[in-house]
Amino acid sequence: MTATVVRKRSALTKGQLPKFAPYIVLAVALVVAAAIMALIGFNAFGWGIVAAILFAVGLVSWSGAVEGARKAKDKLATCLVVGAFLIALLPLISVIVTVLINGIPGLITPGFLGTSMNGVTGAFDNKAAEEGAPVLGGIYHALMGTIQITLLATVISVPVGLLTSIYLVEYGNDRPLARAITFFVDVMTGIPSIVAGLFAAAFFFAIVGPGTKTGAVAAVALSVLMIPVVVRSSEEMLKIVPNELREASYALGVRKWRTITKVVIPTAISGIASGVTLAIARVIGETAPILVTAGFATTINNNVFGGWMASLPTFIYTQILNPTSPSNPGPSDQRAWGAALVLIILVMLLNLGARLIARMFAPKTGR
């Protein structure tokens, strides 16, 4: 009998799917899904979903038939995990595409970045929507407001946050106070942003007088959100400064505070700077705290300590929720999406900047 000799497959790979099995199943799933979609009306999104389900079912049942239940379960888990990742990408892509498609017409409107909403009334928007006149108004006041409020918040948060992290790392020594601060800083990261806004509002209502709404109040609200982020990131950075550097400095007779300011901080400065940049990126998009603390303004206000102030997020919010012309919300939507695009670009630039800072100013290791 020669039948047993002809058999080429090794006993070790017996009962396994061939390497190319997933590709075959994928191709079949895509074709079958396309056929199904052709019957009920084609759209790319549905095609992807049906193909993914067919692929998972096909691969798992084939594996179950050839390799047994354990391997099939493993394949199923792999399909689910990869599927979860692909599902998580969908909203990211969808948000970015939506903002780009809706935002670019607003952004390329002449004067969008250079003018405020001062004097832009519903009549102009009706004209723009009905007669095709150019869409007037822009985000200059909101952009300036965002920059000023965020800058003031940074000026408040960075010294407090940095000093706190220095206390925790250099002086804390796991004392009860240090442990309490660590715990409550963690808790503070979870404060809802609107509660931070209400706190700043309530604080200034009690100190200055009811109804106080200025850029400075908003900056205080943002600081409440920003300080814990700065503390956490600086603390991590100070912790990784090697102890040998501190000891070498002490051995030369240098005081502790000089050691911290001249040795520890310069070593960690790149990480601290990138952490601060990330913290700015986090608070620059906050809407709710500014909404309850700075009011709405349609004009340019360069004084953070007096008068209502606009900001990019609240500009987006009000333009969508209360269009300048209620009968023709089109121009308002266009401005809102343009502002959203500018805001996303700002946040992405800050994130990118944080990465660059971390890489460029990283302490040189070795010689």
Partner 1 sequence: MTTNSLTTSQGAGRAGDKVFSGAAMAAGCLILAVLFGVALFLVVQAIPALTAPAADIQGGHGFFAYIAPIVVGTLIAAVIALVIATPVAIGVALFISHYAPRRLAAGLGYVVDLLAAIPSVVYGAWGAAFLAKEISPAYDWLATYLGWIPIFEGPASATGKTILTAGIVLSVMVLPIITSLSREIFLQTPKLHEEAALALGATRWEMIKMAVLPFGRPGIISAIMLGLGRALGETMAVALVLSSGVLTASLIQSGNQTIAAEIALNFPEASGLKVNTLIAAGLVLFVITLGVNMIARWIITRHKEFSGAN
Q: Are 300 and 144 within 8 A, CB to CB?
A: yes
Q: Which stretch binds partner 1 (CB under 8 A): 114-122, 124-132, 331-339, 359-367?
A: 331-339
Q: Are 350 and 281 within 8 A, CB to CB?
A: yes
Q: Count residues contacting partner 1 (CB under 8 A)?
A: 95
Q: Are 212 and 204 within 8 A, CB to CB?
A: yes
**20 contacts: CB under 8 Å, gap ≥ 6:** none
- Contact letters for partner 1, residues 202-221 (x by CB under 8 A): xx-xx---xx----------
Q: Under the criterion CB under 8 A, does residue 84 sit at the interface with partner 1?
A: yes
The minimum distance between CB 120 and partner 1, in angstroms, equals: 20
Please, which of residues 4-33 interact with partner 1 by CB under 8 A? none
Please, which of residues 251-270 interact with partner 1 by CB under 8 A? 255-258, 260-261
Name the residue nearer to partner 1 (CB basis): 40 or 84.
84
DSSP 2: -
Q: Under the criterion CB under 8 A, does residue 49 sit at the interface with partner 1?
A: no
Q: Under the criterion CB under 8 A, does residue 347 sit at the interface with partner 1?
A: yes
Handedness of CA 244, 250, 253, 255 (dihedral sign): positive
The minimum distance between CB 146 and partner 1, in angstroms, equals: 11
Q: Under the criterion CB under 8 A, does residue 168 sit at the interface with partner 1?
A: yes
Q: Which stretch binds partner 1 (CB under 8 A): 52-60, 126-134, 225-233, 359-367?
A: 225-233
Q: Under the criterion CB under 8 A, does residue 117 sit at the interface with partner 1?
A: no
Q: Are 277 and 357 within 8 A, CB to CB?
A: yes
CA dihedral 190, 191, 194, 197 (to 10 degrees): -140
- Contact letters for partner 1, residues 271-290 (x by CB under 8 A): ----------x--xxxxx--
Please, which of residues 175-194 interact with partner 1 by CB under 8 A? 177-178, 180-181, 183-194
Q: Under the criterion CB under 8 A, does residue 41 sit at the interface with partner 1?
A: no
Question: Residues 46, 48, 64, 83: which binds partner 1 (CB under 8 A)?
Answer: 83
Please, which of residues 140-159 interact with partner 1 by CB under 8 A? 159
Q: Under the criterion CB under 8 A, does residue 47 sit at the interface with partner 1?
A: no
Please, which of residues 294-313 interact with partner 1 by CB under 8 A? 295-296, 313
Name the residue nearer to partner 1 (CB basis): 91 or 367.
91
Q: Are 350 and 115 within 8 A, CB to CB?
A: no
Give one DSSP letter per residue of 294-359, joined into a string: T---SS----TTSS----HHHHHHHHHHS-SSTT--HHHHHHHHHHHHHHHHHHHHHHHHHHHHHH
Q: Which stretch binds partner 1 (CB under 8 A): 10-18, 65-73, 117-125, 238-246?
A: 65-73
Give one DSSP letter per residue of 20-36, joined into a string: THHHHHHHHHHHHHHHH
Q: Are 344 and 99 within 8 A, CB to CB?
A: yes
The minimum distance between CB 52 and partner 1, in angstroms, equals: 13
**315 contacts: CB under 8 Å, gap ≥ 6:** 139, 142, 335, 336, 339
Question: Residues 23, 42, 171, 250: which binds partner 1 (CB under 8 A)?
Answer: 171
Name the residue nearer to partner 1 (CB basis): 31 or 77.
77
**298 contacts: CB under 8 Å, gap ≥ 6:** 116, 117, 118, 120, 141, 310
Question: Residues 109, 150, 164, 233: which binds partner 1 (CB under 8 A)?
Answer: 164
Q: Under the criterion CB under 8 A, does residue 362 sit at the interface with partner 1?
A: no
Instruction: Report angle CA 251, 256, 262 to the nearest 5 degrees.
Output: 90
